[in-house]
A and B are shown apart, each in its own frame.
Chain A
């Protein structure tokens, strides 16, 4: 795929992620209200605002620069843990882009693996701890599985979004190990983790954007992967 198409795809992906968050702001706040302070929807909106500012400041420098700017802006917002966590994820994605990973199954899997590795440098949270890791880890594994089976980018992101949504839904029955919800112990059960939910919404946005932008010529399956 041509580099310019890849750049356009990332712009569309980020915009679609913002739309998903905006459409679900109230739900995210309500999830957070179960065991937290109810401001996760507002925090995520602020995070997506920081993403928009990064986009507005771009002059077509490319995917790596775009993701770097997104990361830098996310690290600047005051949104508790969300700024550092998403900022770190995007720093890892930018690193993947710097290594020339493209918008194909293998490239996406490598980029998101780099994002996950970067996050692991900042938090010890594991799947099952009721954090965004419960959405991100299965999403990365789904991408790697899709890449191994020769899927195209659209199918890879769709599978990742499905896996993230399932992972986020499964947090409903988990006891929180991180954040303010941790202090509630068993009472933190009964609502999905807001961070895992917003990450799965962002991935859904990524998947929808790429589905709408690319056609079979842009996005062939990669049987040799």
Chain B
């Protein structure tokens, strides 16, 4: 596994408010450049850091410091995505989302909160295709989730997934890389299916646990690495150019060999 750890990115610290944020200097893929993001966050320090960080990564960021201002801007500038702090002065961020949904505005939303997610409203949020992130969070986690929200997999009737030489038959439940048949356990198949639907996209451990295994809280996040190790062992056999990449301190990417 060490070989992948070496292609790490440059990390640096940035403090935002009370939350320690660790970020990796990576710009977002070209198709997401100049995507408009509206950030509704009342804490000016956190907001400043987030705006700087996201701008640097190529997003176009608009900031609103209160719920009312946020709601106005959401209707006026029509962002592609909104990041909403849950605890705004005199308002629950979820109320903004509900107000927008009421007006048939379907912009994807990422809610930030210092609270956990036992709440039913939060569960509803996830079911509606939006996302929720508990503070403090790493910038990579935030960016990965923004990307995931912006690139929701298109609903297709395609029963065959293809990434480079990798093929997944969703009907026959078989996988092959080039000519080689890959024997997969059901859980490995599920993991690979999820990754192939989101190829070229950074998937963090937390995202994989949530989406593939449906777990929000798992005592040991090392679990994902073990599962991924098994899968990689089957997908990337010695001699093949690797397709599953470990992004250091962040997560995993499935990428067709160049």
Are A and B co-members of a single complex? no
